[in-house]
Structure 1
Amino acid sequence: MEDTPMERGRRGGSHTVTAAEKAQAREVSLRRIGRLFTPHRRQLTVVVAMIVASSIISMASPFLLREVIDVALPTLDTTLLVWLVLGMVGVAAATSALGVVQTFISTTVGQQVMHRLRTDVFRHLHRQSIAFFTRTRTGEVQSRITNDIGGMQSVVTNTATAVASNLTTVVATIVAMLALSWQLSLVSLVVLPPAIILTRKVAGMRRAITAQRQRELADLNVTIEEGLSISGVQLSKTMGAGTALIDRFTASSTRLIDLELRSELAGRWRMAWMSVLFAAIPAVIYLSAGLPGTAGKLTIGTIVAFTALQSGLFRPLMGLLSVGVSITSSLALFARIFEYLDLPVEVDDPPHPVPVRPEAIDGHLRLENVTFRYPGSDTAAVDGVTLDVPPGETLALVGETGSGKSTVAALIARLYDPSAGTVTIDGIDVRDMKLDDLAAIVGVVSQETYLLHTTIRENLRYAKPDATDAEIERAARAAQIHDHIAALPDGYDTVVGSRGHRFSGGEKQRIAIARTLLRDPRILVLDEATSALDTDTERAVQRAFAGLAAGRTTVTIAHRLSTVRDADQIVVIDHGRVEESGTHTTLVDAGGRYAALAA
């Protein structure tokens, strides 16, 4: 994804964002923000119509007031006075009723737009490759979805109606003022140019502060995620880093206080002067009406009605200017959200996927001249690897840590796409399959197990939502964990705790194995899947795997060579390359690297 001018400047420090670039970014952002409301055009049209009607109706009040003061009261015309008063009450009732309905519709539309933004961001991020999540802090992702989208709520919910309401009120008020007295209107409207200039300056100040505040909020979220997760708490306690962690959080929170204050106070003095200026206008009107050149030309009712209109102009005009400030400052939030929505999906469903029935797959796995480099690395993690695993056979990958074994497993499951070469199953390139179909074919149990903070039953059902209790129990028995679960007070309804920390490493891995087996994949990838098991449990699980491996292709990655002795094919990986391959016996007899590892 191409960097924005702001990002290039922040990273390199050599690029200066020009006024033209700022204007272009703002135009694109506003146009894109506007498209969020496109599906709700009909509702918004109704709201605008109601706002216009409400504004027009409300403009009758000053004219009714003028008639009360200039006609009804001086002539003691009680009938006219009653009708005028009833008219004023009716105007208030009508505008209030329209306001309630308008608020309901506009809030509903705003919440629907917020819902769409949240779900679109979550869905798009879920489609990102593992590489994105390895280089992005979890707290940063959470902050974008919660803080940034949450910060937009008032703008998304109220902006359209606020603009329409305030704009129509301002226009209607100005028209009414001109109808009453064009001379006094000129005096009143002289404040508009400085008001607009000041508002633009305040908007720019708040936009910069908003961007900085959201970055600080993201840092705060990261600190919470890293410091208060079960793993983070264990790490800080065992490393004696609690004080430093608290100091880091405190410092971030302190900076946030300063940014919040600056955000709230940005331009307040300037806007305060505007309030004083608007408040002084009625005094200027009274002065103008009493000057020798105008004295006697305006009735008392006209002056009172005009002053009421002018006072009423202040609120919508300031509201309109404030909406402009809010929109401009919120562009920083929209920019952060759109940045995530614009991320390219590196591993995605093909445009025209090959139709596949997972249950009909034989499981013939082949890697042909596969090369892969991690983003930002000049060294290939996997370099020209070719492997052929016939259906139902077992392939074992062995080698030193960092040799590329787990990367090969990740390529089989298509967590990454190879830089060169192909990975095929039954002759079909995995990049030509739908990701859901591939996930149904290839089951992965990794060394780092992840359990959800829910019951054991729901953790297992995560792999197969429609699984029956009998199927869940059968998978648990196969993974040699059923007896342990049954002995718990709540059995399968036992809550595993955050990240499964209630259980030992071996117990968590057996639950993870059961979860994968529940899906009955045609290809099993076991990436150090038994590394946390003791010798006796490992043997029991291996026996279970031996029974389940019939008709199933299995790729096993292990450091313990005892777990791979019986594999149909053993491949030694070194620095991303295939060093040697064969059976346990032939490799030991060859006296090469495998023999050295087995010694």
Structure 2
Amino acid sequence: MEDSPVSLRRIARLFAPHRATLAVVVALIVLSSAVGLAQPFLVRHVIDDALPRQDVRLLLLLVGAMLGVAVATAVIGVVQTWLSTAVGQRVMHRLRSDLFAHLQRQSLGFFTRTRGGDVQSRLVNDIGGMQGVVTQTATSIAANLTVVVGTAVAMVALSWRLALLSLVVVPPAVLLTRQVARMRHRVTGERQRRLADLHVQIEEGLSVSGVLLTKTLGAAPRLTERFEETSADLVGLEIRSRLAGRWRMATMNVVFAAVPAVIYLAAGFPATSGGMTIGTLVAFIALQGGLFRPLMGLLNVGVDLTASMALFSRIFEYADLPVDIEEPATPTRLTRAGARGEVRFEGVGFSYDDGRPVLADIDLHVPAGATLALVGETGSGKSTLASLVPRLHDVTEGRVSIDGVDVRDLALTDLADLVGVVTQETYLMRASVRENLRHARPDATDAEIEQACRDARIHDLVAGLPDGYDTVVGSRGHRFSGGEQQRLAVARTLLRDPAVLVLDEATSALDNRTERALLATLDDLSRTRTTITIAHRLSTVRNADRIAVLHHGRVVESGTHEELLLLGGRYADLVRGGLDAQPAAA
């Protein structure tokens, strides 16, 4: 894109690890071009020497050499294509993998601001659109440039007068190509943006949640109409991209095709022929015909490369995104085996990118093995405060620590081992129950998986399915009810055995009986871990060691259930107002 230019030097750096292979490819290209240039000269000797003198031996020798040239160029071409394609695909693989890894490091805020379809489009469509350029451009430039230079030299050697006549069309062709390239660049950028819109509409309209919403709202006709409009725009942009400058290039092809006629005419005049033989003329025409094809190829590569800059720009725009939550340069090691799980919030404040304060002056201490419950109205900052422990966000003031170590000083992998999170919105992959659980801990045994499910009160249900733990979960877990999904999510987290467990409305979809059974299990498990619970149900929070009441991002009350009731403040108001019956909303 014009507002995000990309330098050719940066693109060239993508190929730096493959310099040796590229050097071999270039050498093969030069060798193939040099061998191929012998063909017109062999033809000249056949016409001027072997045929007029009826020299069969020379004729056989020349014809054999011509066949040898054809075989040699074919073999070299296959090897060169194999090497260049391998290099291009490795570059594509590295670029795609690095971009995916970089996006994985982005904070939760990036994904809440960005459309998922746009991310997918850049990873798949934009990188896929570059494939031809990355795989073929470097070798195409080298091959065509070598042929053009070698052919031009050979033409001058045969007849410098006719060579000047042939090459006079090159400057206007170059200027014309630059205009076409600029046109293609603009169209390509717009096409990729509309393709991203199409991906977004597919993701939002054809996911399980999207289809459910569409059917209940009767919005299918509107979504279909919107999809058709975007698809129609893509048709027009694709046609414009293909036809950009096509009439101008077609005109140049006509001019190039007319050049041989002019050469024949010039060869007929003594002033311009220079006394050339028939063989020389035939060889020159062959060289001239072989010149314009690589010359046009070279110019077209320039068009494709300029157009692809729009794709590189979109990809590097994401690759250059700053990482909000960075790995510490020298992380402090805190392993699960050595962690007690003591959590402290010290002068914590948090604001989003727009500067809007969400939390301020939070001071809380959760001893190892204790339970902290966070309550308050919707929007009071409970989920945001809990999200600071696993570093889904970073504090803007103060610090959050585990066993005295600032979470920002811990390696992200160590922090993930220490802190387990179960949210109200569970996410299950379209895989078996066993694979979904093992995603949390790949080395978990079947026995450990089943024990985690027993602790989460879901084992009997899973074991009773026709395929048991090998039952495939539907898209986003829709094969199971909301409560069953939550219990699977709890089992998945318990399988990791974290030192700190964050439960953000983790039992909101459970019936009272199942919730009581699960809470009893969690109470038992909490003796060996620290638990931070967010809930709107009184049954979930009343047994907590400490309850913190948040209001407008501040802790306004703190104590046990009985202490806060006796205080008669906001917590008592929440209980009287129906804390037990409020809907589960974070």
TM-score range, shorter chain: over 0.9
| Partner residue in 2 for 1:231 | 209
Structure 1 residue 426 corresponds to structure 2 residue 397: no
| Partner residue in 1 for 2:495 | 518
Match of 2:249 among 266, 271, 277: 271
- Letter of the 1:6 partner, please give it: D
Cα shift at 1:557: 0.4
Cα shift at 1:29: 2.2
Contact 2:452 2:492 in 1 (8 A): yes
* 1:504-561 deviation per Cα after TM superposition (whole angstroms, max 9, x unaligned): 1100000000000000001110001101101111101001101101121110101012
Give the distance between the partners of 2:516 and 2:123, measured in 1 at CA.
45
Alignment map for 1:72-91 (pairs within 5 Å): 72-91=50-69
Match of 1:187 among 143, 165, 178: 165
| Partner residue in 2 for 1:6 | 3
* 1:205-236 deviation per Cα after TM superposition (whole angstroms, max 9, x unaligned): 00110000000000000000000000000000
Contact 1:29 1:335 in 2 (8 A): no
Structure 1 residue 384 corresponds to structure 2 residue 361: yes
Structure 1 residue 400 corresponds to structure 2 residue 397: no
- Letter of the 1:149 partner, please give it: I
Give the distance between the partners of 1:422 and 1:520, measured in 2 at CA.
25
| Partner residue in 2 for 1:216 | 194
Cα shift at 1:5: 6.8
Structure 1 residue 547 corresponds to structure 2 residue 544: no
Structure 1 residue 504 corresponds to structure 2 residue 481: yes
Match of 1:105 among 69, 73, 83: 83
Match of 2:262 among 259, 278, 284: 284
Match of 1:532 among 498, 505, 509: 509
Change (3 A) 1:338 1:295: closer
Structure 2 unaligned residues grouped into runs of 5+: 577-586
| Partner residue in 2 for 1:163 | 141
Give the distance between the partners of 1:134 and 1:504, measured in 2 at CA.
25
Contact 1:405 1:557 in 2 (8 A): yes
Give the distance between the partners of 1:151 and 1:287, measured in 2 at CA.
45
| Partner residue in 2 for 1:29 | 7
Q: Secondary structure at the match of 1:444?
A: strand
Structure 1 residue 132 corresponds to structure 2 residue 132: no
Structure 1 residue 245 corresponds to structure 2 residue 235: no
Structure 1 residue 58 corresponds to structure 2 residue 36: yes
Cα shift at 1:159: 0.7
| Partner residue in 1 for 2:182 | 204
Change (3 A) 1:322 1:588: same
Give the distance between the partners of 2:169 and 2:539, measured in 1 at CA.
86
* 1:342-379 deviation per Cα after TM superposition (whole angstroms, max 9, x unaligned): 01111121011012222210111000010001122x43
Contact 1:409 1:525 in 2 (8 A): yes
Match of 1:415 among 392, 401, 410: 392
Alignment map for 1:257-406 (pairs within 5 Å): 257-294=235-272, 297-376=275-354, 378-406=355-383
Change (3 A) 1:281 1:569: same
- Letter of the 2:185 partner, please give it: R
| Partner residue in 1 for 2:234 | 256
| Partner residue in 2 for 1:572 | 549
* 1:54-76 deviation per Cα after TM superposition (whole angstroms, max 9, x unaligned): 11111111111111111111111
| Partner residue in 1 for 2:580 | none
Give the distance between the partners of 1:292 and 1:554, measured in 2 at CA.
100
Q: Secondary structure at the match of 1:525?
A: strand
Change (3 A) 1:465 1:223: same
| Partner residue in 2 for 1:41 | 19
Q: Secondary structure at the match of 1:217?
A: helix
Q: How much is the aligned-residue C-alpha RMSD, in angstroms?
A: 1.0
Cα shift at 1:563: 1.1
Cα shift at 1:397: 0.3
Change (3 A) 1:363 1:294: closer
When structure 1 is superposed on structure 2, of 69-78 and 470-479 the one drifting more is 69-78
Q: Secondary structure at the match of 1:165?
A: helix
Cα shift at 1:295: 5.1
Cα shift at 1:6: 1.7
Give the distance between the partners of 2:62 and 2:356, measured in 1 at CA.
86
Give the distance between the partners of 1:437 and 1:293, measured in 2 at CA.
85
Contact 1:445 1:513 in 2 (8 A): yes
Cα shift at 1:502: 0.7
Match of 2:460 among 483, 486, 495: 483
Q: Secondary structure at the match of 2:346?
A: strand
Structure 1 residue 596 corresponds to structure 2 residue 573: yes
Structure 1 residue 441 corresponds to structure 2 residue 438: no
Give the distance between the partners of 1:5 and 1:248, measured in 2 at CA.
28
Q: Secondary structure at the match of 2:337?
A: helix
Give the distance between the partners of 2:328 and 2:274, measured in 1 at CA.
81
Give the distance between the partners of 1:295 and 1:502, measured in 2 at CA.
83
Change (3 A) 1:71 1:527: same
Give the distance between the partners of 1:139 and 1:379, measured in 2 at CA.
28
Give the distance between the partners of 1:254 and 1:570, measured in 2 at CA.
57
* 1:356-407 deviation per Cα after TM superposition (whole angstroms, max 9, x unaligned): 222210111000010001122x431111111100111110000000100000
Moved over 6 A (4+): none
Alignment map for 1:452-467 (pairs within 5 Å): 452-467=429-444
Give the distance between the partners of 2:452 and 2:513, measured in 1 at CA.
19
Contact 2:335 2:418 in 1 (8 A): no
Contact 2:162 2:272 in 1 (8 A): no
Q: Secondary structure at the match of 1:351?
A: coil
Aligned residues: 576
- Letter of the 1:354 partner, please give it: T
Give the distance between the partners of 1:295 and 1:515, measured in 2 at CA.
86
- Letter of the 2:130 partner, please give it: M
Contact 1:485 1:491 in 2 (8 A): yes
Give the distance between the partners of 1:382 and 1:491, measured in 2 at CA.
45
Give the distance between the partners of 1:509 and 1:91, measured in 2 at CA.
70
Give the distance between the partners of 1:77 and 1:480, measured in 2 at CA.
96
Give the distance between the partners of 1:85 and 1:491, measured in 2 at CA.
73
Q: State the TM-score, normalized to the length of structure 2.
A: 0.97
Cα shift at 1:294: 3.5
